[in-house]
Amino acid sequence: ATGSDENDVVIIGGGPGGYVAAIKAAQLGLKTTCIEKRGALGGTCLNVGCIPSKALLHSSHMYHEAKNSFAHHGIKVSSVEVDVPAMLAQKDKAVGNLTKGIEGLFKKNKVNYVKGYGKFLSPSEVSVDTIDGGNTTVKGKHIIVATGSDVKSLPGITIDEERIVSSTGALSLKEVPKKLIVIGAGYIGLEMGSVWGRLGSEVIVVEFAADIVPSMDGEVRKQFQRSLEKQKMKFMLKTKVVSVDTTGSGVKLTIEPAAGGEQTTLEADVVLVSAGRVPFTAGLQLDKIGVETDKGGRILVNERFATNVPGVYAIGDVIPGPMLAHKAEEDGVACVEYLAGKEGHVDYDLVPGVVYTHPEVASVGKTEEQVKALGVEYRVGKFPLLANSRAKAIDDAEGLVKIIAEKESDKILGVHIMAPNAGELIHEAALALQYGASSEDIARTCHAHPTMSEALKEAAMATYDKPIHI
């Protein structure tokens, strides 16, 4: 019973934005249908993004530890080998279980799920070419576009997902390439570069800009880059890729300095193109109903996620803002709360960002560069992981916590953590910023010993006073 009976909300796209919006809408008592073309829920994030990349990051980290660190901890292993197909199978199993889990949540919450490609017939009607070859029309009072994003292609480079791969291909390489060149030093490139580097590839990252991960706090970025270099990742910054061609046995890149100059070539077995992502609206027929987009193809919305066309809304990667799964989820919840007549809220200044390398790098709030640019007087408190007892105990003490607070009020403006589990540690800081806490509030909160969270407490002490352990 998909067809013509009218819904309160129809959601096109079953990624973190769309599926979360669908469940929340149903929980708020709205009759809800979610349309997804992939045949599996969870979107980019679950199928070819966050989840499979974290599965491979974990597996490759285990291998790397077994090979390089176990002996140091008094564990003898005679031989350690990678079984790539088995590693990929474990990743696929994790993904499969999670996508089915969302289907279960749809059933539990009575979200109607239509598998197929949706396109607008009018602002309240979506025609769906179903994956079983049929067609149905789904009607709704409100329609939310949650069609997400796709890999950004570069001019002159054809992705074949075997030798010239996007992140999707890099999640399924059949064997460890001897040499992997990553184009783009954003978090996706560095994560995938880490995976294959740990498994034995020689990894070179080519980046047009002068810095890796441009959104990162500069001081933390420097330490992060050094850490990756220690892990044998090589960087060619301020370098432009002119062309990428497959050769008999591999791939040849032609590069030149970003500022112009002599061209040179590089050879590799596999090239990963990770130069960003672009909003995905192909085939939706947005132009048919007149939905406005910006120059980059993102759908323009107001603070209530409404487009210029009454009844049509958009959330997640397809609208401006950080292209992150948790941001898409927040959009989805707030959007349907508005539709249900409630208030919704997303604080875009407090979306945490995490790079899941080892160590991880996580941040929330402003970087020191941003605070400086605002002309705010500030103090910085830092604490190195080398002085944290837990990090020392487990011999994983590379990194630091950096807190930036307003000088006069001590209110925290930004927190940046490089640590083995920074992606978990950051949420204490996110909560602190959400509540407008001062660094003294964190410093005077009792933290369990021995934990890496104590490094956050000590950095907070260092912000307005002195830390104890350094």
Residue numbers in the known binding site for FAD are: 54, 118, 147-149, 317, 323-326
Site for ligand FAD in 278-317 (CB under 6 A): 280, 283-284, 316-317
Of 150, 450, 448, which is closest to residue 297 (Cα–Cα)? 150
Residue 36 near ligand FAD by CB under 6 A:
yes
Residue 184 near ligand FAD by CB under 6 A:
no
Residues 6 or more apart in contact with residue 162 via CB below 8 angstroms: 169
Choose, by CB under 6 A, the member of 182, 270, 323, 422 that binds ligand FAD: 323
Amino acid at 260: G
Residue 17 near ligand FAD by CB under 6 A:
yes
Residue 112 near ligand FAD by CB under 6 A:
no
Q: Which stretch binds ligand FAD (CB under 6 A): 33-41, 56-64, 335-343, 393-401?
A: 33-41
Supply the DSSP string of 286-355, one letter for each residue.
HHHHT--B-TTSPBP--TTSB-SSTTEEE-GGGSSS---HHHHHHHHHHHHHHHTTS-----GGG--EEE
Q: Tokens 């069609």 identify what position? A: 147
**Residue 271 CB, nearest distance to ligand FAD (Å)?**
16
Residue 463 near ligand FAD by CB under 6 A:
no
Indicate if 447 belongs to the active site.
no
Note the residue count of the chain: 470
Residue 325 near ligand FAD by CB under 6 A:
yes
Angle between helix 50-68 and 187-198 (nearest 10): 40
**Residue 302 CB, nearest distance to ligand FAD (Å)?**
18
**CA dist., res. 98 & res. 94, Å (int):** 6
Amino acid at 320: P
Choose, by CB under 6 A, the member of 8, 25, 43, 362 that binds ligand FAD: 43
Nearer to ligand FAD, 319 or 371 (CB): 319
Nearer to ligand FAD, 151 or 462 (CB): 151
Residue 377 burial (C-beta neighbours within 10 Å; 0-12, 13-18, 19+)? exposed
CA distances from 104 to 97, 111, 128, 147 (A): 10, 10, 22, 21
Q: Tokens 């002068």 identify what position? A: 210
Residue 57 near ligand FAD by CB under 6 A:
no
Q: What track of x and - describes contact with ligand FAD for positions 349 through 388 (by CB under 6 A)?
A: -------x--------------------------------
What does the binding site for ligand FAD look like in residue numbers (CB under 6 A)?
Answer: 12-18, 35-38, 43-45, 49-50, 53, 117-118, 146-149, 167, 188, 280, 283-284, 316-317, 323-326, 328, 356
Question: What are the catalytic residues?
Answer: 449
